[in-house]
Amino acid sequence: MTEKEMTRLKLQATQCRLNVLRMLRASHHGHIGGAFSAMDIVTALYFYKMRLDPKRPDMENRDRFVLSAGHKCLCQYSALAERGYFPKEILDTYGSLDSKIPGHPDMHKLPGIEANTGALGHGLSIALGMALGQRLSRTGANVYVVMGDGELAEGSNWEAAAAAAHHKVENLVAFIDFNGLQISGRVQDVMDFTPIAGHFKAFGWNTMEINGNCMEEVVQALDSIPADASRPTAIVAHTIKAKGLSFGEGDVAYHFWNTTDELMDRAEQELQALAEQYRKAVEA
């Protein structure tokens, strides 16, 4: 990938973060922390890695994306809108009754959503089933799942981890968004699952550890997934909760943000300035 292409991806991630703010302008509240920590990973998947066609969201051999930590959905809505799955005006309906983009993703309401999530701990099992199905159908499709680190406390994840390794499901890739925080405090105080990569490795997974807010490292990790590993891959992505919201980074109070006009203006200005920098570099 050229430097310009890399900068274009960073611009895209910034534009996606701005889309999140647009939704929060409409609703005045929402889960920004986990959406912003996972935004670089989700951008790399939607704009660099996954085989998909927004005009044919049901294309048989599409790669699948499952957002196991469904409360992070603002990051997926932003990427889907940016990729052209639905008109951006729909972003302004966030928080309204009958919106296609509810507080947790709904596959019956929005094209591009593959599974209903929100109750933590189910996405890895769902993604494993999809990956097995795609392998049987020989479509060549990969299945990508994004999980939270607090979510790992759900025991069902570890049944799925064992089964995925046992069945050598090499077309399954799980990102663990390791931002160190969950709803009410530090993950290590609530339910410590470190070393996360060590646990997946012990189950038989191929594992990597990266800075999940560094686009170069996310892209490199995606490029280095072995094609014939006979193993699923877990990418433990060290991130900062609310990354990109300067006054909220690493602060559990921004797991769910009740916005104020003043702070919203500041957040928007800062991200717009960053986007402008990237835009200039891309156009230079």
Ligand X SMILES: Cc1ncc(C[n+]2csc(CCOP(=O)(O)OP(=O)(O)O)c2C)c(N)n1
Chain centroid offset of residue 225 CA? 18
213 CB-near residues (< 8 Å, 6+ apart): 37, 40, 239, 240, 243
For 171, which DSSP code?
T
Amino acid at 30: G
In the list 63, 82, 114, 149, the residue contacting ligand X (rule: CB under 6 A) is: 149
Q: 3-state DSSP: the chain helix, strand, coil percent, rounded to 5?
A: 50, 10, 40
In the list 125, 142, 179, 207, the residue contacting ligand X (rule: CB under 6 A) is: 179
3-class state of residue 209 by DSSP: strand
Show the tokens assigned to 134.
């795609």
Q: Report residue 246: phi and psi, to 5°.
A: -55, -40
Residue 255 within binding range of ligand X, rule CB under 6 A: yes
Residue 68 within binding range of Mg ion, rule CB under 5 A: no
Residue closer to Mg ion by CB (options 15, 182) is: 182
Residue 123 within binding range of ligand X, rule CB under 6 A: no
In the list 114, 151, 170, 217, the residue contacting ligand X (rule: CB under 6 A) is: 151
Tokens 């991630």, residue located: 13
In the list 1, 4, 88, 119, the residue contacting ligand X (rule: CB under 6 A) is: 119
Smallest separation, CB 257 to ligand X (Å): 12
3-class state of residue 147 by DSSP: strand
Smallest separation, CB 218 to ligand X (Å): 16
Residue 34 within binding range of ligand X, rule CB under 6 A: yes
Residue closer to ligand X by CB (options 54, 118) is: 118
**What residue ranges bind ligand X (CB under 6 A)?**
33-34, 69, 71-72, 118-121, 148-151, 177, 179, 181-183, 187, 241, 255
